[in-house]
A and B are shown apart, each in its own frame.
Chain A
Amino acid sequence: MTETAEAAATAPPPRRRIAIRGAGWILASALIAALIMVPVAALIWQAAQGSDGLWRHLAAYVLPHALGQTAMLMAGVGLMVTVLGTGAAWLVTAYDFPGRRVLEWALLLPLAVPTYIVAYAYLDLLHPLGPVQSLIRDLLGYTSPREFRLPDIRSMPGAILLLGLVLYPYVYLPTRAMFMTQAASLVEVSRTLGTRPHQIFWRVALPLARPAIAVGVSLALMETLNDIGASEFLGVRSLTISIYTTWVTRSDLPGAAQISLALVLLVVALVSLERWARRRQHYSAGARRARQFRPQRLHGVKAAAALMAGLVPVTFGFLAPALFLAVEAWKRFQFAGLSDRLLVEARNTFLLSAGATVAVLICGLIVAYATRLLPHRGMLALQRIASLGYAMPGTVLGLGVLIAVANLDRLIDRSAQDWFGVSTGLLLIGSGTALGYAYLARFLAISIGSVEAGLSRIPRSYDNAARTLGHGAGATLRRIHLPLSRPTIAAAGLLVFVDCMKELSATLMLRPLNFETLATHLYGEAARGTYEEAALAALAIVIVGVLPVILLARVRQGDNGN
């Protein structure tokens, strides 16, 4: 693997010169890492307040079950997103068949469906009273669900299935990018050498895509850990639910902070383990312009089968729940009309997410680029720290941000009163800055990971050439790295945007007065049990989320055409 991929990779440039030249970048990264560390530190401080006897109770009654459930959920979802994501990416990259170009972007659509919405939709669809079972009863001649019904979806397999169906695009997206730009020439070489098609996948493409798959799977798993809504709906008692219970039902915030820090450690250990496992592998494309992947043309039955296979995740991950929401929303619309609040909320959601996405991308780029400039152990540690927020459930991270920002706000307010005699109120929370900060802390990992994966495909010889020609680190980034990694950066932007838009827990906790987003509206209705009204908001979330997905598909197709 190493010898094939390292066609043009060279040794890293002399460290000392870079360290001096890249000092600004490294300093900026350190600042960003510090910024992310603040809410974590606030939680550590909370956890240190102590909670009497909590761990004895947890060890005796909660952990055995919760750990088992969490492990099972993560293993199941991990397996499912790997198979679906990698399989789908290979299908639309390696083969050409009618409908492929639509599938290419349609496979991303489930991203727009939050886990709590997919759970809610399927619970209704597959309920004994829902359309699916009603139809089956009609066909079989039963009149009442008491005579015949299918097993309940509210189970561990149900949770794995539903989460896997909406989370696989986290793997599909980076893996496909990797296949497209990296695998082309190698696959061609393999074909020339007579390797059979399925062997190409297992022996060339899959090993090549491993970093991308790893990034994708870890993102999907952290989304799984963050989920409370779907688990609650589906009756899965994961560790995240234990954190929540400890905090809400037992009013034990220090205890909840302790469990969540333990969870963070677990995640960090897993991610490190994966990185350690591929420590000896280097990935870098050839210096020549990456060749377009020439897909193999399929005909007849094979083409139809490929299309069907590609449609499965799209149908179950997006079409079915979206259609269900559309029908429910339509019913509601006829019943109660459209609330004009929905438009304001859609705008709030869009602007807030867009703003946060820009910030997240810029910070991610700085950290990822600084790591490239100085691939030193210390810098890598900074990068890990800056990625910590994603490993924490949104509720917990939101609490950390709240504690940290509110204290700063009070300091500002007090100082303003002391010096100028005016009260500023809560400047950061009141302006929504706190919320943006929470998004940054939570989703920075996505942009660092994706941008890093993108940069890693650009040979270091390019950097050296640019630097030899007298460009500084900034100019090299602007003129070499940015143009070359545009698709990856766009992909990262998409993921972050959609994630911001779906984010619920931190948004609920940190938003200013009189400020609603689609997600908070949805939650307000769902919490009251007025699901029909919620259907409109849920559909709106899905629609707002679909827009950037389509936009991204256009960007990428434009790229391909050039």
Chain B
Amino acid sequence: MTINTKTRLTLCTATLALLGTSVAAQELNLYTSREPGLVEPLLEAFTKETGVKVNTVFLKDGLAERVASEGEASPADLLMAVDAGNLADLVDKGLTQPVESEVLTAAVPENLRDPGKQWFALSMRARVVYAAKDLELDSITYEQLADPAWKGKLCIRSGQHPYNTGLFSAFLSHHGAEQTETWLEGVKANLARKAGGGDRDGAKDILGGICDIAVANSYYVGLMRSGKGGDEQRAWGDAIKVILPTFEDGGTHVNISGAAVAKYAPNKEEAVKLLEFLVSDEAQKIYGEANFEYPVKPGVALDPIVASFGELKVDPTPLTEIVANRAEASALVDKVGFDN
């Protein structure tokens, strides 16, 4: 009644595909908050190898809510998300099921999967510092980002973005609430412009003369420098150098992308198959080549651009702790008016 016949007809295909899933075994349904442009090469390779067709819907923030509302009638088989916090959310809401798979436990290091085997990391990204190419700076700690020497020279996206709340959570683990608040105030005081935009804007704004250093994720550099985004972005990528910052008493903050099998997955077998495929050497290489992320599987070669950043020393703070600190970190961001 809210849609006319014509539209209904167009949507019919989608419906049939959906209704068909419970019958046809060689399909599976993927709910992903990772962007289609990234996931597609992986899925194509999977379908080519196994013959299993993957139906996808790219959801952003409503992933957990959608699966939860759909309940036992949900067609979702595999849930793919960025950020350990989002994966943990899925588990907390009771939307996932544990997976017993030797392939997975062998490929994914213990600190990169849920202790209850509910989710598994598939790739890693580091929160790094971009610096103007001619800047005399070879190393920096996260703590030094609050150093007044950087006043008016730092660019960063919204403090409430999950990439930043993840980093701030890790800071909380290292230094406690009081010091984190002081540090956030210091970082805020150093901002060259309002916190906002995306990570790539950091590089763009460095080239544009707005700032000298920017906090951003590692893979954007690969996307820019490889020329995949066109010549203009290559110029942004070439205008910066990447520094892997560390905590004074730790390493570089990384976050993950990962996946979990849905609790009511109608095609659980296929879902596990896809999950296992995603940690295969082939897929792990695609993660590196298509999106310049760090593979989770030990021994898989890095993309040359990523390798050029230097050796990644991952901060030992457990992901579970970072997840647990998230709400507090977000509250601190509000408290110091980081984004105002």
Contact = CB atoms under 8 A, between A and B. Distances in A.
B62 A402 contact: yes
Interface in B49-92: 55-62, 65-66, 69-75, 85, 89
A249 B8 contact: no
A347 B10 contact: yes
A436 B73 contact: no
Contacts of B200: 529
B229 interface: yes
Interface stretch (A354-362, A446-454, A459-467): A354-362
Contacts of A244: 61
B31 to A, nearest CB: 9
Contact-residue bracket for chain A = 35 or more
Contact of B2 (A60, A248, A356, A520): A356
A370 B299 CA distance: 71
Nearest to B157: A232
A533 B62 contact: no
Interface stretch (B138-146, B171-179, B191-199, B268-276): B191-199
A407 B69 CA distance: 7
B48 interface: no
B35 A527 contact: yes
Nearest to A53: B331
Contacts of A57: 331, 334
Nearest to B239: A129
A430 interface: yes
Interface stretch (B116-124, B207-215, B249-257, B310-318): B207-215
B69 A358 contact: no
B58 A520 contact: yes
A406 B11 contact: no
A155 interface: yes
A414 B73 CA distance: 8
A12 interface: no
Contacts of A398: 62
Nearest to A66: B340
A528 interface: yes
A248 B81 CA distance: 13
A456 to B, nearest CB: 27
Given A331-B230, A409-B70, A524-B36, A355 B65 contact: no
B57 A511 contact: yes
B322 to A, nearest CB: 13
Given A149-B209, A431-B8, A528-B37, A356 B230 contact: no
B327 A251 contact: yes
B204 A127 contact: yes
B308 interface: no
Nearest to A54: B331
Nearest to B67: A406
B2 A512 contact: no
A128 B209 contact: yes
Given A249-B160, A431-B11, A528-B37, A359 B165 contact: no
B29 interface: yes
A104 interface: no
Interface in A513-544: 513-516, 520-521, 523-525, 527-533
Most buried by A among B7, B74, B196, B335: B7
Interface in A321-370: 331-332, 335, 347-348, 351-352, 354-356, 358-359
B21 interface: yes
A478 B33 CA distance: 48
B208 A513 contact: no
Contacts of B106: none
Contacts of B17: 513-514
Interface stretch (A77-85, A193-201, A421-429): A421-429
Nearest to B223: A529
B193 A152 contact: yes
A525 B35 CA distance: 7
Given A154-B194, A413-B73, A529-B198, A61 B335 contact: yes
A146 interface: yes
Given A410-B72, A432-B11, A529 B199 contact: yes
Contacts of B62: 395, 398-399, 402, 508-509
B14 A512 contact: yes
A234 interface: yes
A128 B4 contact: no
A512 B197 CA distance: 29
Nearest to B338: A237
A351 B6 contact: yes
A245 B65 CA distance: 15
Given A233-B197, A399-B62, A431-B14, A425 B57 contact: no
B239 to A, nearest CB: 10
Nearest to A434: B2
A65 B337 contact: yes
A127 B204 CA distance: 9
A276 B284 CA distance: 63
B209 A359 contact: no
A288 interface: no
Nearest to A521: B36
* From B62, B165, B337, residue with most partner A Cβ within 10 Å: B62
B293 to A, nearest CB: 12
A107 B229 CA distance: 34
User: Shortest 7 CB-CB distances between A and B: which pairs?
Assistant: A355-B7, A406-B69, A235-B194, A128-B208, A235-B196, A145-B209, A509-B62
13 contacts: A235-B158, A249-B160, A355-B7, A359-B2, A399-B65, A406-B69, A425-B19, A508-B60, A509-B60, A513-B57, A524-B35, A528-B35, A530-B223
Interface of B: 1-4, 6-8, 10-12, 14-15, 17-19, 21-22, 29, 35-38, 55-62, 65-66, 69-75, 85, 89, 158, 160-162, 165, 193-200, 204-205, 207-210, 220, 223, 228-230, 233, 326-327, 330-331, 334-335, 337, 339-340
Given A395-B62, A432-B8, A512-B18, 19 more contacts: A57-B334, A147-B209, A154-B193, A249-B165, A354-B4, A359-B2, A398-B62, A402-B69, A403-B69, A406-B73, A410-B71, A425-B75, A426-B73, A508-B62, A509-B62, A514-B17, A515-B14, A529-B223, A532-B229
